[in-house]
Chain A
Amino acid sequence: MNWDRFFDIPSDLQHSWFGLIGLHLREALLPVLAGLVISLPLAQLCVRFRWLYPPVLWVTTVLYAVPSLAFFVLLIDYTGQTELTVMIPLTVYSLVVLVPAIVDGVRTVPQETLAAAKAMGFGPVRRYVQVQLPIAVPAIIAGLRVATVSSISLVSVGALIGNQGALGNMINDANIYNRPELALNAVLTMAVLAILADGALVAVRLLLTPWMPRRTSRRTTRKADRPDPAAAALEDAVR
């Protein structure tokens, strides 16, 4: 291990270390955002039409089981060796976490709160946007934390389709040039990014939910942490 060359990024990656971090974040976070945009209406449909939820859950789970490599093979004909080919599977993967998180969150809204909203003349859309979603924020953020952290680790598989893995490409280069410090750099950087992104989401939750009893909020946090995202991210990265 050559520590002096820890930050010496090979030129074939075409980016500086910071450039790779920016690329990595974009490839990881855009899919989560896209997943959220898809999940919000999808989850509302699942709440309104209860029969829809099991098949939706089933489809998202099956899609999650499809290996990313298989996705790349399918997509590469259409989207080529681009970031998009990496981001589409990541978007699909985020649904498996986000849809149940939003559905469960919306369902935790107490019946009497909904009845009160209805009786005050809230229509279905107003009820969803002004009552159900705000109350579901803690659950939604818990879902986003898991989705974000796993997405940050999964981006590295993009290295398989040629230089689309951002920080993950460093692991590939570590192999080619026999420079293990690059792999260590990649793994540590991804872990730090995951931890920072997770912390940022916790901060957002605290900002959005001044109405939560602090004791309960800590309990919710712990529940959300159950598949410890940072640890899961490291495992994924190694895989």
Chain B
Amino acid sequence: MIRIDSVTKRYPDGTVAVDRLSLEIPDRSITVLVGPSGCGKTTTLRMINRMVEPSEGTILLDGVDIQQQPVNTLRRSMGYVIQNAGLFQHRTILDNIATVPRMLGWGKEKSRARARELMERVGLDGALAKRYPYQLSGGQQQRVGVARALAADPPVLLMDEPFSAVDPVVRKGLQDELLRIQEELGKTIVFVTHDIDEAVKLGTMVAVMRTGGHLAQFAPPAELLSHPADAFVEDFLGADRGIRRLSFFPAAGLELLTAPVVPIDATAEQIAAHDTTDAPYLLVTDPDGKPLGWSEPQDLTAGDIKAEELLPCGRPFVPGTDSLRAALDCAVLSPTGWAVAVDADGGRVTGVVSQQTIAEAIRGAHAEGREDDGRPEGPADMKVAG
């Protein structure tokens, strides 16, 4: 565990970058430091590997003051990833990744074998091994940066706005990759970002910092969204924190209707048997059960349903893995106001659900959240993708 104990960083000109900050960073999880620029989050991160020395206070790594060991030994035991990757432009991708193992005296062959293993782990094509950084895209360079930081298998990984300089699509890919790698490796990761969405997505714990180096709130992301400590945190979370909080409630509990689902080869009886009081629309599926589109019952002629005349059904959600936020999004985007649920493996329709039903589920989840007051770990455990 990394324990930051009332640490202050004051520069000679009197500026206080970090003000009596205390944080306990739990092992094998991602702790995100987030805040506006000038809040001291990067300074805090850099004090952990002594790129910046604190003016007051101590930082303990597994109970030992980090001042106790030689600075370069400390740094080699911590992976470090920065914005724009900071790769060595004069070395090949393989040699970049092998840097720290080589310095630790692993030998050329062993270091390179390890580097190849890591390229695979971070999702880089082995053919890139002999390339130079300028030949890679920004996203690929950042993957190399992560691989390089992991090369000597350090227990701690420090990441300073690593994904800020890549476009949103690549960023999402890198974030998902980081979560996957973390699932496999279980590092103690300290992650700095100014993007609250990134913080909420990646963090097991999120430390919101405010200008002047003060800690505003330290909590799991779900608690942050449901109970911001003060107006600053609330403001920083943005206007749609209510919607974003829905990411933490699974869609699995939604009551799905199967009655309005008919196959494309439906008979006249099947269409007529449909009860329009529950749902005014029918969802037509292909023979495999995959969704084709919506239609009003009277527009359907048995034996002559044309897929191209149906209303589009939009993007479906998967109740097992998606959140209420994803379900609500599907319902809002659907022309009929109904969301389509499919199974994870085949994309076959498992049912449909209305905006109303989702709204009831949200009310229910919020009521539960209120009962959880004082037990903040509750919503965090329910964190689901999407």
B236 on the A face (CB < 8 A): no
- A118-B75, A120-B76, A121-B75 known; A211 and B82 CB under 8 Å? no
| A54 close to chain B: CB less than 8 A | no
CA distance A104 to B148 in the complex (A): 28
Q: How far is the CB of A103 from chain B (nearest CB, A)?
A: 18
Q: Which of A116, A120, A211 has the most CB of B within 10 A?
A: A120
**Chain B residues whose C-beta falls within 8 Å of the C-beta of A117 in the assembled complex:** 86, 88
Interface code A167-190, partner B: CB below 8 Å = 1, 0 otherwise? 000000000000000000000000
User: Which of chain B's residues has its CB closest to A109's CB?
Assistant: B89
Q: A112 vs B142: C-alpha distance in the bound complex, in angstroms?
A: 13
Q: Report whether B90 and A119 are in contact in the complex, using a CB–CB cutoff of 8 Å.
A: no
Known: A211-B91, A211-B132. A119 touches B49 (CB 8 A): yes
Partner of B88 from the list A115, A131, A212, A213 (CB cut-off 8 Å) is A131
Complex CA distance for A212 and B133, rounded to whole angstroms? 9
B84 within 8 A of A: yes
Contact with B along A103-130 (1 / 0, CB 8 A): 0000000101111111111110000000
Contact A116 B82, CB 8 Å, known A121-B76, A210-B132, A211-B132: yes
Contact A112 B82 (CB under 8 A): yes
- Residue A135 lies at the interface, judged by CB distance under 8 Å to chain B: yes
Name B104's closest neighbour in chain A (CB-CB). Answer: A121
A131 and B82 CA atoms in complex are apart in Å by 17
In the complex formed, the residue of B with least CB distance to A133 is: B90
Chain B residues near A121: list those with CB within 8 A: 71-76, 100, 103
How far is A213 from B100 in the complex, measured between Cα atoms in Å? 26
Q: Place the interface of chain A in its size category.
A: 20 to 34
Q: With A135-B89, A211-B89 given, is the CB distance from A118 to B132 under 8 Å?
A: no
Chain B residues near A16: list those with CB within 8 A: none
A120:B132 contact, CB within 8 angstroms = no
- Contact across chains for B75 and A119 when beta carbons are under 8 A apart: yes
- Chain B residue numbers with a CB within 8 Å of A123 are 72
- Contact at B86–A211, with CB atoms within 8 Å? no
Q: Give the shortest distance, in Å, between B233 (CB) and chain A (any CB).
A: 30
CA distance A135 to B75 in the complex (A): 23
Q: What does DSSP make chain A's interface, helix, strand, loop or mixed?
A: helix
Interface membership of chain A positions 195-214, coded 1 if the CB is closer than 8 angstroms to chain B and 0 otherwise = 00000000000000111110
Contact B80 A209, beta carbon cutoff 8 Å: no
Q: Smallest CB–CB gap between A211 and chain B, Å?
A: 4
A119: chain B residues within 8 A (beta carbon)? 49, 51, 75, 78, 80, 82, 158
CA distance A112 to B165 in the complex (A): 13
Nearest chain B residue, comparing its CB with the CB of A111: B86
Q: Which residue of A lies closest to B132 (CB)?
A: A211
Q: What is the bound-complex CA distance between A118 and B74, given in angstroms?
A: 11
Could you tell me if A120 and B99 are in contact, using CB atoms closer than 8 angstroms? yes
Chain B nearest CB, measured from A198 CB (Å): 23
Task: Pick the contact of B82: A115, A134, A212 (CB < 8 A).
Answer: A115
Q: Are B89 and A120 in contact (CB under 8 A)?
A: no
**A119-B49, A119-B51, A120-B103 in contact; A113/B73 too (CB < 8 A)?**
no
Question: Which of the residues A114, A115, A135, A211 comes within 8 Å of B134, measured between beta carbons?
Answer: A211
Contact A120 B87 (CB under 8 A): no
Closest CB of chain B to A56's CB: distance in Å?
26
Indicate if B83 sits at the interface (CB-CB under 8 A). Answer: yes
Give CA–CA (A112, B73) in the complex, Å: 20
In the complex, are the beta carbons of B87 and A113 less than 8 A apart? yes
A90 CA to B324 CA, complexed, in Å:
77
Residue in B51, B86, B90, B92 whose beta carbon sits within 8 Å of that of A134 in the complex:
B90
Contacts of A115-173 to chain B: CB distance below 8 A = 115-123, 131, 134-135, 137
Is residue B224 contacting chain A, with contact meaning CB distance below 8 A? no
Q: Which of B86, B99, B148 gathers the greatest number of chain A CB atoms within 10 Å?
A: B86
B85 at the A interface (CB under 8 A): yes
Give every chain B residue within 8 A of A113 (Cβ-Cβ). Answer: 86-89
Q: How far is the CA of A230 from the CA of B80 in the complex (A)?
A: 47
CB within 8 Å of A: which B128-187 residues: 132-134, 145, 148, 158
* Given contacts A113-B86, A131-B88, A118 and B99 within 8 Å (CB-CB): no
Interchain CB contact (< 8 A) of A118 among B51, B84, B91, B133: B51
User: A115–B75 contact, CB under 8 A?
Assistant: no
Which chain A residue shows the least CB distance to B134?
A213
Query: Cα distance A112–B224 when bound, in Å?
Result: 32
B181-216: which have CB < 8 Å to A?
none
> Given the complex, which residues of A lie within 8 Å of B71, measured CB to CB?
121
Min CB distance, B386 to chain A, in Å?
33
Chain B residues near A120 (CB-CB < 8 A): 75-76, 80, 99-100, 103, 148
In the bound complex, residues from chain B placing their C-beta under 8 Å from that of A112 are 82-86
Given contacts A116-B86, A137-B90, 9 further A-B contacts (CB under 8 A): A110-B86, A113-B87, A117-B88, A119-B51, A120-B80, A122-B72, A122-B103, A135-B88, A211-B133
**5 examples of A-B residue contacts, CB within 8 angstroms:** A115-B86, A116-B88, A118-B75, A121-B103, A211-B92
Report A's interface with B, CB cutoff 8 A: 110, 112-123, 131, 134-135, 137, 209-213
Going nearest first, the 5 A-B pairs with the smallest beta carbon separation are: A116-B86, A112-B86, A119-B80, A121-B72, A121-B76
